[in-house]
Amino acid sequence: MIKLIKICKSFKGQKVLDNLDLKIEPEKITVIIGRSGGGKSVLLKHIIGLIKPDSGQVLVNGVDTAKLNDKELNEIRKVFGMLFQDAALFDSMTVGENVAFPLKEHTKLSKKEIDEIVEEKLLAVDLKNVTHKMPSELSGGMRKRVGLARAIALNPKIVLFDEPTTGLDPIMCEGIDNLVINTQRHTKATFVVISHDIRSTFKIAHKVAMLYKGKIIKIGTPEEIRLSNNPVVKRFIG
């Protein structure tokens, strides 16, 4: 269960999040939409404690992560997986080593067991024969898939996605959308997805939240969002 309460965050006097409240339902896919540069990534980074709020609370399973020290934060983060906007793969490691990284760091599994999980996770994101490639040899869509495989390597209870489909061609987008839906159905994890792609949002979301001027101005099922009278929401979903 994730709850953000009265979050304020400014960078050099520029207010990015302004008294933001948001409750994210467990075991569902929540998609956060909003214009580019509107603070969606900043919001997501608050959830996993990469950015601390100027004021307000970030509750994860009832614990305020904004108040934790590094060690406690690292404990909490073990239930998280995160896919970054540009995948953030370690470019000094092969694809296989990238996916194996969290397993090596946080489990006592043997090399053989880790290799098996890596293959399984790569297969789950529809990648074959890439284990020994370097990230720089992959296309954008493949990198995102590897990023997803790494994010779900430890079977996290909460997975955060920063624009998983941005910059991909339509076929690739559809592939990633299906991947998100299937992975969530399979793992029953809580997914928080950032998107500015309306079509894909309505396809994957259980809940949609609209971020505008530092606040969540509307949250509801895709149907509720589609029928919303809020002028900003209407304009955004066109």
Partner 1 sequence: MGYESSNHRSNEADRNPMIRLLELAGRPFIIAVEESGRIILLLISASTWMLRPPFRFRVIFKQMEFVGVNSIFVVLITGTFTGMVFALQSYHGFKMFGGESLVGATVALGVTRELGPVFTALMVTGRVGSAMTAELGTMKVTEQIDALHTMSVNPIHYLVMPRIVAAIVMLPVLTIVSDFVGILGGYFVGVELMKINSGIFIAKIVEFVELEDIFNGLIKAACFGLILSLIGCYKGIRTTGGAEGVGKATTQSVVLSSVTIFISDYFLTSFMF
Ligand X SMILES: Nc1ncnc2c1ncn2[C@@H]1O[C@H](COP(=O)(O)OP(=O)(O)O)[C@@H](O)[C@H]1O
Burial class, 67, CB count within 10 angstroms (exposed 0-12 / middle 13-18 / buried 19+): exposed
Helix 170-187 to helix 140-151 angle (10° resolution) is 10
Contact pattern for partner 1 over residues 14 through 53, marking x by CB under 8 A: -------------------------------x--xxx---
| Residue 101 interacts with, from partner 1, ligand X, Mg ion, none (CB under 5-8 Å by kind) | partner 1
Q: Is 41 in the site for Mg ion (CB under 5 A)?
A: yes
**Are residues 121 and 152 in contact, defined by beta-carbon separation less than 8 angstroms?**
yes
**Are residues 140 and 113 in contact, defined by beta-carbon separation less than 8 angstroms?**
no
Rounded to a whole number of angstroms, the minimum distance from the CB of residue 194 to partner 1 is 14
Task: Please give the Cα distance from 219 to 209 (Å, whole number).
Answer: 4
Q: Is 16 in the site for ligand X (CB under 6 A)?
A: yes
Contact pattern for partner 1 over residues 62 through 81, marking x by CB under 8 A: --------x---xx-xx-xx
Q: Is 195 in the site for ligand X (CB under 6 A)?
A: no
Scanning the structure block, which residue is given the tokens 């941005």? 166
Task: Please give the Cα distance from 58 to 98 (Å, whole number).
Answer: 29
Q: Is 148 in the site for ligand X (CB under 6 A)?
A: no
Q: Which is nearer to Mg ion, 40 or 121 (CB)?
A: 40
Name which of residues 27 to 66 contact ligand X (CB under 6 A).
34, 36-42
Rounded to a whole number of angstroms, the minimum distance from the CB of residue 98 to partner 1 is 9
Burial class, 92, CB count within 10 angstroms (exposed 0-12 / middle 13-18 / buried 19+): exposed
What are residue 9's DSSP bridge partners? Answer: 17
Scanning the structure block, which residue is given the tokens 């990023």? 147
| Residue 180 interacts with, from partner 1, Mg ion, ligand X, none (CB under 5-8 Å by kind) | none
Name which of residues 87 to 126 contact partner 1 (CB under 8 A).
88-92, 101-102, 105-106
Rounded to a whole number of angstroms, the minimum distance from the CB of residue 60 to ligand X is 20
Q: How many residues does the chain have?
A: 238
Rounded to a whole number of angstroms, the minimum distance from the CB of residue 154 to ligand X is 25
Q: Which stretch binds partner 1 (CB under 8 A): 17-25, 85-93, 120-128, 171-179?
A: 85-93
The string of DSSP letters for 50-79 reads SS--SEEEEEETTEEGGG--HHHHHHHHTT
Task: Please give the Cα distance from 75 to 231 (Å, whole number).
Answer: 42
C-beta neighbour count of 28 within 10 angstroms: 15
Question: Which residues here bind Mg ion, judged by CB under 5 A?
Answer: 41
Question: Which residues here bind partner 1, judged by CB under 8 A?
Answer: 12, 45, 48-50, 70, 74-75, 77-78, 80-82, 84-86, 88-92, 101-102, 105-106
Question: Which residues here bind ligand X, judged by CB under 6 A?
Answer: 11, 16, 34, 36-42
